[in-house]
């Protein structure tokens, strides 16, 4: 909701019995710790609803509510407020009568917005209050072209500019023609639109794929791919070639895979893109990984982990030597967790070096090395070299083979703190994996301090999530009870314009942190099965992935279905 809650509003919430003083103080403390707005925190903690806040503001402060979807605002009225101000302050002009301008606002208490608006319009402002989701949908409807309208206009420009080169029956263009096309404004605009929309949609990946009759652009948002639009097939080569030029790749080479990266400025900030081009039977397929620092949560306290797990990570990362492993499937946020740990322990008095394939985010003050296997620059080779740089802390992007883990363990045993990732499903499974790779059990017990397995859950869209009470059998099976022992009221996805009708918006992490206690080390010496190691770790305080996921379900952040799907393969699989 993003309201700047004043003491007066807080008192009104208490007086109306909507929230208790104790809950309000708890929300204030949490909002300060996490740097979030108090109103948003009250909603996240299920202490109030948006309707509660709207009711208090409407009845007590005289701000009438408005449903923007029921109104049609004419162009003359819209032009009274510049788009930049509209987006920045989340407001829309609704109607003008004489010197009175009625403006819908998400936060009608924002005096700075009201002052700026009065200065720009030279009118008296009459604020009314609108829901944030309703406002975003209205701004999008009135100010932004749809993707199809935008791409049709660009395609039309390309047709006009390149009619002689791109003609029916001439699908293959020469390298010279392609290079010339990539420098033309329409193709540049088309590429920038594809990349810009990726950043706007908070996509982690972009796929540009050749199809039988056309091209296809897809975005991965919150872990799920969705199709955006389909440019005509004849423009696929031009789009791919433009991306290859930006990534400094060979546009003439269409038979071999190529990898590269580039950086562009979008919405006032630098965004990196990692590029992979592979040939297919229908043409070249491009996959771009979006590396947007503004969207990346490189902060241990903001990853969504339980407080107890965050404290374990902070405690172990303060050790002068040893190894911390983060494991999980591809795309579960392992590297982000390692970066967050590095950021937490970064200090001018320490020498931090990373070895990655490739470097995803550039961290100021930290030496980062990107491996290149084509010239023999491997993880193991890099590790041996950087040990001569006298590092205090080393991050190895990924452990893939015995040579890498052998050097990493020896580094951990000789006074270095080593952070790395491993592809296993559970924390206990990583121990079994290392033994299978050829590492002696006594070396694992002597070097590894903490193993964390993680997943990413899709966050339920707060604007449209739907509450329900599960049946008794489901509640007992998954422990869905509140603090009073009653069956918890949980939420499921519904879908609205704000979340593209998916029911989800954003992602949060869940993790199981296994410390290598004396009992766990004893089982490692015996080369016990992963299940035995896991049971011992849980007896000594580890909360596994499924249990952590259920805590998010009870808190209203995640759906039961998504937690069950995301934790398949973890210890608490369905019987």
Instruction: Give the end-to-end CA distance of the chain in Å, rounded to a whole number.
Output: 41
pLDDT digits (tens, 9 = 90+) for 499-523: 777 889 888 999 999 999 999 999 9
Contact 474, 480 (CB under 8 A): yes
Contact 388, 416 (CB under 8 A): no
Per-residue confidence band for 35, with pLDDT thresholds at 50, 70 and 90: low
Largest Cα–Cα distance in the chain? 85
In this prediction, residues 545-562 reach a mean pLDDT of 93
Per-residue confidence band for 182, with pLDDT thresholds at 50, 70 and 90: low
Handedness of CA 250, 253, 256, 257 (dihedral sign): positive
Instruction: Respond yes or no on whether the N-terminal peptide bond of residue 16 is cis (omega within 30° of 0).
Output: no
* pLDDT at residue 311 is higher than 90: yes
Cα distance between residue 208 and residue 240, in whole Å: 8
Give the per-residue pLDDT at 546. 94
Which comes out higher in pLDDT, residue 549 or 158? 549
Give the per-residue pLDDT at 136. 79
Cα distance between residue 127 and residue 105, in whole Å: 7
In this prediction, residues 317-330 reach a mean pLDDT of 93
- Mean pLDDT score of the chain: 84
Contacts of 505 (CB under 8 A, 6+ apart): 222, 459, 460, 461, 462, 463, 498, 499
Cα distance between residue 233 and residue 216, in whole Å: 9
* pLDDT at residue 174 is higher than 60: no
Question: What are all long-range contacts of 174-179, with beta carbons under 8 Å and residues at least 24 apart?
Answer: 175/251, 175/252, 178/237, 178/238, 178/241, 178/251, 179/241, 179/245, 179/251
Q: Which of 205, 195, 204 is nearest to 263 (CA)?
A: 195
Per-residue confidence band for 183, with pLDDT thresholds at 50, 70 and 90: low
Per-residue confidence band for 164, with pLDDT thresholds at 50, 70 and 90: very low
Residue position matching structure tokens 């620059």 = 377
Q: What are 520's two structure tokens?
A: 């766990």
Residue position matching structure tokens 């080169």 = 165
* pLDDT at residue 486 is higher than 80: yes
In this prediction, residues 37-49 reach a mean pLDDT of 73
Q: Is 6 helix (H, G, I), strand (E, B) or coil?
A: coil
Give the per-residue pLDDT at 188. 83
Contacts of 527 (CB under 8 A, 6+ apart): 435, 441
Give the per-residue pLDDT at 137. 77
Can you say how many angstroms the Cα of residue 213 is from the centroid of all Cα atoms in its chain? 33
In this prediction, residues 260-288 reach a mean pLDDT of 90
* pLDDT at residue 186 is higher than 90: no
Contact 326, 334 (CB under 8 A): yes
pLDDT winner (highest mean) among 227-241, 251-265, 558-572:
251-265
* pLDDT at residue 573 is higher than 50: no
Q: Which of 550, 515, 544 is nearest to 531 (CA)?
A: 544
* pLDDT at residue 2 is higher than 70: no
* pLDDT at residue 442 is higher than 50: yes
CA geometry: angle 552, 558, 563, nearest 5 deg: 85
Per-residue confidence band for 294, with pLDDT thresholds at 50, 70 and 90: low
* pLDDT at residue 154 is higher than 90: no
In this prediction, residues 123-143 reach a mean pLDDT of 82
Contact 316, 322 (CB under 8 A): yes
Considering the chain, what percentage of its residues have pLDDT values greater than 90? Answer: 39
In this prediction, residues 327-331 reach a mean pLDDT of 88
Strands (E), 33-131: 91-97, 100-105, 124-129
Cα distance between residue 309 and residue 220, in whole Å: 28
Per-residue confidence band for 177, with pLDDT thresholds at 50, 70 and 90: low
Q: What are 341's two structure tokens?
A: 């740990």
Counting every residue written for the chain, the total comes to 575
Which comes out higher in pLDDT, residue 204 or 163? 204
Which comes out higher in pLDDT, residue 442 or 192? 442
pLDDT digits (tens, 9 = 90+) for 88-99: 888 899 999 888
Q: Give 367-397 as a DSSP string.
A: EEEE-BGGGTB-HHHHHHHHGGG--SEEEES
* pLDDT at residue 574 is higher than 50: no
Give the per-residue pLDDT at 8. 66
Which comes out higher in pLDDT, residue 132 or 169? 132
Give the per-residue pLDDT at 411. 93
Lowest mean pLDDT among 22-31, 122-131, 152-161, 337-346: 152-161
Give the per-residue pLDDT at 275. 94
* Residue 352 φ then ψ, to 5°: -110, 130
* pLDDT at residue 167 is higher than 50: no
* Residue 486 φ then ψ, to 5°: -90, 160
Q: What share of the chain is helix, strand, coil (3-state, %, to 5)?
A: 45, 25, 35
Contact 355, 342 (CB under 8 A): no
* pLDDT at residue 176 is higher than 70: no
Q: How many Cβ atoms from other residues are within 10 Å of residue 345's Cβ?
A: 17
Considering the chain, what percentage of its residues have pLDDT values greater than 70? Answer: 87
* pLDDT at residue 208 is higher than 80: yes
Per-residue confidence band for 184, with pLDDT thresholds at 50, 70 and 90: low
Q: Which of 447, 451, 465 is nearest to 409 (CA)?
A: 447
Per-residue confidence band for 214, with pLDDT thresholds at 50, 70 and 90: confident
Which comes out higher in pLDDT, residue 163 or 470? 470
Per-residue confidence band for 575, with pLDDT thresholds at 50, 70 and 90: very low
- The whole-model pTM stands at 0.69
Give the per-residue pLDDT at 469. 93
* pLDDT at residue 484 is higher than 70: yes
Q: Which of 380, 359, 384 is nearest to 369 (CA)?
A: 359
Cα distance between residue 393 and residue 390, in whole Å: 9
Cα distance between residue 298 and residue 291, in whole Å: 12
């Amino acid at each position: 909701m993003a309201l700047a809650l004043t003491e007066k509003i807080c008192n009104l919430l208490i007086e109306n019995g909507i929230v208790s003083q104790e809950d309000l103080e708890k929300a204030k403390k949490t909002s300060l710790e996490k740097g979030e707005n108090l109103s948003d925190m009250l909603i996240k903690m299920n202490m109030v609803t948006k309707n509660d806040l709207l009711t208090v503001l409407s009845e007590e402060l005289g701000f009438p509510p408005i449903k923007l979807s029921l109104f049609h605002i004419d162009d003359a009225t819209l032009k009274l407020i510049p788009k930049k101000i509209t987006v920045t302050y989340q407001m829309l002009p609704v109607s003008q009568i004489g010197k009175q301008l009625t403006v819908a606002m998400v936060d009608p208490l924002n005096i700075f917005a009201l002052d700026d608006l009065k200065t720009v319009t030279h009118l008296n402002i009459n604020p009314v209050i609108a829901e944030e989701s309703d406002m975003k949908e209205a701004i999008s409807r009135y100010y932004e072209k749809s993707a199809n309208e935008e791409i049709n206009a660009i395609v039309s420009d390309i047709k006009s500019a390149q009619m002689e080169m791109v003609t029916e029956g001439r699908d293959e263009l020469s390298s010279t023609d392609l290079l010339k096309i990539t420098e033309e404004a329409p193709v540049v605009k088309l590429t920038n639109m594809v990349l810009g929309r990726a950043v706007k949609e908070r996509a982690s990946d972009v796929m540009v794929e050749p199809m039988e009759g056309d091209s296809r652009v897809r975005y991965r948002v919150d872990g799920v791919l969705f199709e955006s639009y389909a440019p005509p097939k004849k423009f696929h080569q031009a789009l791919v070639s433009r991306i290859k030029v930006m990534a400094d790749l060979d546009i003439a080479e269409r038979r071999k895979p190529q990898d590269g990266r580039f950086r562009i400025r979008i919405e006032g900030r630098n965004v990196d893109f990692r590029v992979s081009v592979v040939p297919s039977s229908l043409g070249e397929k491009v996959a771009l990984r979006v590396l947007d620092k503004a969207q990346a949560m490189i902060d241990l306290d903001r990853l969504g982990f339980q407080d107890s797990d965050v404290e374990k990570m902070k405690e172990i990362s303060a050790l002068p030597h040893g190894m911390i492993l983060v494991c999980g499937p591809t795309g579960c946020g392992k590297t982000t967790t390692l970066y967050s740990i590095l950021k937490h322990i970064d200090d001018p008095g320490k020498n931090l070096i990373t070895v990655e394939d490739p470097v995803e985010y550039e961290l100021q003050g930290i030496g980062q090395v990107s491996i290149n296997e084509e010239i023999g620059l491997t993880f193991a080779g890099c590790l041996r070299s950087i040990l001569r740089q006298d590092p205090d802390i080393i991050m190895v992007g990924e452990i893939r083979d015995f040579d890498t883990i052998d050097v990493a363990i020896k580094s951990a045993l000789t006074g270095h703190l080593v952070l790395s990732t491993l592809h296993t499903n559970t924390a206990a499974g990583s121990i079994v994996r290392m033994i299978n790779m050829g590492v002696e059990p006594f070396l694992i017990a002597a070097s590894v301090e903490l193993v964390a397995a993680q997943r990413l859950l899709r966050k339920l869209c707060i604007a449209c999530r739907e509450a329900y009470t599960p049946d008794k059998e489901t509640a007992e099976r998954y422990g869905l009870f509140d603090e009073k022992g009653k069956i918890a009221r949980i939420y499921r996805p519904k879908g609205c314009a704000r979340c593209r009708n998916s029911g989800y918006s954003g992602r949060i992490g869940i993790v199981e942190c296994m410390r290598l206690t004396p009992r766990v080390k004893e089982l490692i010496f015996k080369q016990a099965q992963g299940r035995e190691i896991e049971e011992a770790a849980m007896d000594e305080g580890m909360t596994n992935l499924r249990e952590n996921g259920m805590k998010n379900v009870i808190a209203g952040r995640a759906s039961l279905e998504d937690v069950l799907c995301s934790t398949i393969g973890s210890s608490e699989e369905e019987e």
